[in-house]
Structure 1
Amino acid sequence: MADLFTEVDSLRETLRESLEMADKRQEDISRQDVLTRIENVIQTIVITVSKDEAPVLRVTKRSSWANVRFQKSVGLVLKADASVTALRCDCPSSATKFALILKLLSVIYKLVQSDSYATKRDIYYNDPQLFGTQRTLDSIVDDVSCLLKAVPVSSNVNGIRNIVSSAKFVLIVEKDATFQRLLDDDFCTRLSPCIIITGKGMPDVNSRLMVRKLWDALHIPVFALVDADPHGIEIMCVYKYGSLSMAFEAHSLTVPSVLWLGLLPSDIQRYRVPKETIIPFSQADEKKINSLRNRTYITCQPAWEREVEMMQRLKQKAEIQSLASIAPHFLTRVYLPNKLRYGGWI
């Protein structure tokens, strides 16, 4: 078993040596800081109203690539001069969003003040008619987070302290189905000690916070196991470099040391994955791969760029489950052990 982790241990030492050159994580803001920031927003609105003027909220345009820059040691970071959208309470097109932001600020203030916990889902179901859809609330939460320069909705992950583990590595698994397969095949027993985690697809903030917290506490290699398709690559990049909409919180959510363990596009040919399990690209896949090819965090990594180029050229993809067509336990007893033993990550 010791020989299995020789390459992983070597990688761990390399990562630790590079920590001094990496940006340090920003400290979590205190409850009082959150309350003060909310009070400042409300105070500005009250002062504006007292002057018989219509109050305005200025919210950063989180969907614009022009508002972010790429910093290799952190990921996608919001620019200091990012453009904003003005939400006026007297404008029909923005009045509703203005009101929802104020409502959410009120909810968050009460939660923080009472040191209470609530998920986005909890907040939505407290007044579903007001918010309309969960998606609407999620967007408002992100806007408020950006406005306050913090993630104010309470998270059980933030309360986790004093993490101690003898794990050699963390394995991020894209899909819950694959995660369950690893458990069923006793992956953690066979390759213990290790930690496996899944966000069940595109990760939410808590999943990303948890991976970042594990990295900060343990400083062990973090690998990603995703489908060999454009969507899987993007999910891996969200863990590694963050997302466009949450670029303002990149220091707390990204783990730039994440390594791509599999399924690599080149693995499809290397392991002779059966043709009947290989899926042709859809138009959406082609659009997504073209977008990925133009992103700086892909072009700055030659090994990643070669894999993406191969996928784009062949116009085909494969899911992790396709390895089961080679042999039922191929993933857990051959593919992953060999990858870890011989340093098959990029």
Structure 2
Amino acid sequence: MQDVLTRIENIILGIVTSLSKDEAPVLALPNRSSWANVSLRCCSVLHVAFIYIHSQILKILLVIYRLVQSNSYATKRDIYYNNTQLFGSQKTVDGIVDDISCMLKVPRRSLHVFATSKGLISGDLCYIEEDGTRIDCHSSSAAVAVSSNIDGIRNIVSCAKFVLIVEKDATFQRLLDDDFCTKLSPCIIITGKGVPDVNSRLMVRKLWDTLHIPIFALVDADPHGIEIMCIYKYGSVAMSFEAHSLTVPSVMWLGLLPSDLQRLRVPADALIPLTSTDENKLTSLLKRPYLTSQPDWQKEMELMQQTKVKAEIQSLAAIAPDYLTSIYLPNKLRYGGWV
């Protein structure tokens, strides 16, 4: 805690010093927009950009200082509504908080600023929240919202054999409806409802660190789904400075694989042609430095380039309505159909 306060105090001291010399104060912020600026060995940002100090940054630094000093917490939404006129949009606050976290070289949770979770979790899992609330995720009819304070979770109890990351909420709800977590074997399913928020990523990492069980990803066979899976496994460029605590290097691609589309003879009318945006995204993904260590993933993505088609997980319903939960996933998990 004191370390964060000292770092903020040093920034303010630098601003005051600049002003005393009639100089415009500037901050050195790491560039969080390019993979070229990320070292995969240590997941650290290499290049910096210099920006002029403005009132929005100073205001948020002040809020963070007070939160840390008083050992209290706030959400990014709280900060925005504290002065909507100054910030203009929630997106502005979100970006500045992440910039400050990166600049101070501390995880965002060390700033005592949380984001409201959007993820859901269900399955063979119980734990205690920081405030003492006992959370039971066993219900087959309703999921539990991912906690906003993953660090505060304790007493995790589970007999799960694996964790399944599900890209889409619709697929997640289908697994819930089919009571997937108990029919096959005890497991945990979690979704970030598309591109995952930090709390969903932290939760997957927490489960991996605590339970030491396999982590699988179930995503659409399209460039967007692949990128979401890569965020869980390797991190996002914008949050690369925090990758060591947000990523799970052991994540395995369970499906939907491009090779599955041919192997299972998914009907042609359930396949979707790649758009030019898809093709550009695929080319960009294949150039990511981390994919050199994943030849099987590269082969699947190159197959997608060759066939020029993509498919949603729901396309399996064209084979049979319950094919996903009754045949596809059980066979994949029993016989090792992942890469």
Among candidates 5, 8, 13, match of residue 43 of structure 1: 13
What are the ranges of 5 or more consecutive residues in structure 2 without an aligned counterpart?
Answer: 115-147
Structure 1 moving runs of 4+ over 6 Å: none
Among candidates 172, 185, 196, match of residue 192 of structure 1: 185
Q: Which has the higher strand share?
A: 2
Q: Which amino acid aligns with 1:88?
A: Y
Shift of 1:169: 0.6
Q: Which amino acid aligns with 1:119?
A: T
Which residues in structure 2 correspond to 1:40-189 (within 5 Å)? Answer: 40-71=10-41, 77-79=43-45, 82-89=46-53, 98-150=54-106, 151=108, 152=111, 153-154=113-114, 155-189=148-182
Q: Which amino acid aligns with 1:78?
A: S
Shift of 1:58: 0.9
User: 1 CA distance for matches of 2:177 and 2:47?
Assistant: 49
User: 2 CA distance for matches of 1:115 and 1:279?
Assistant: 51
User: 2 CA distance for matches of 1:200 and 1:251?
Assistant: 22
Higher RCO, 1 vs 2 (CA within 8 Å, ≥6 residues apart): 1
Mean CA deviation greater in 197-206 or 116-125: 116-125
Q: Does 1:239 align with 2:209?
A: no
User: 1 CA distance for matches of 2:302 and 2:72?
Assistant: 48
Q: Does 1:345 align with 2:338?
A: yes
Q: Does 1:278 align with 2:274?
A: no
- Whether the 8 Å contact between 1:224 and 1:236 is mirrored in structure 2 is yes
Q: Find the counterpart in structure 2 of residue 33 from structure 1.
A: 3
Among candidates 212, 215, 218, match of residue 211 of structure 2: 218
User: 1 CA distance for matches of 2:32 and 2:163?
Assistant: 30
User: 1 CA distance for matches of 2:302 and 2:68?
Assistant: 47
| Count of equivalent residues | 302
Q: Find the counterpart in structure 2 of residue 5 from structure 1.
A: none
Q: Which amino acid aligns with 1:249?
A: E
Shift of 1:220: 0.7
Shift of 1:321: 0.7
Q: Which has the higher helix share?
A: 1
TM-score of the two chains, using structure 2 as the length reference: 0.85
What are the ranges of 5 or more consecutive residues in structure 1 without an aligned counterpart?
Answer: 1-30, 90-97
Q: Which amino acid aligns with 1:106?
A: L
SS at match of 1:104: helix
- Whether the 8 Å contact between 2:165 and 2:216 is mirrored in structure 1 is yes
Q: Find the counterpart in structure 1 of residue 133 from structure 2.
A: none
SS at match of 1:202: coil
User: 2 CA distance for matches of 1:212 and 1:264?
Assistant: 24
User: 2 CA distance for matches of 1:115 and 1:324?
Assistant: 51
User: 1 CA distance for matches of 2:272 and 2:33?
Assistant: 30
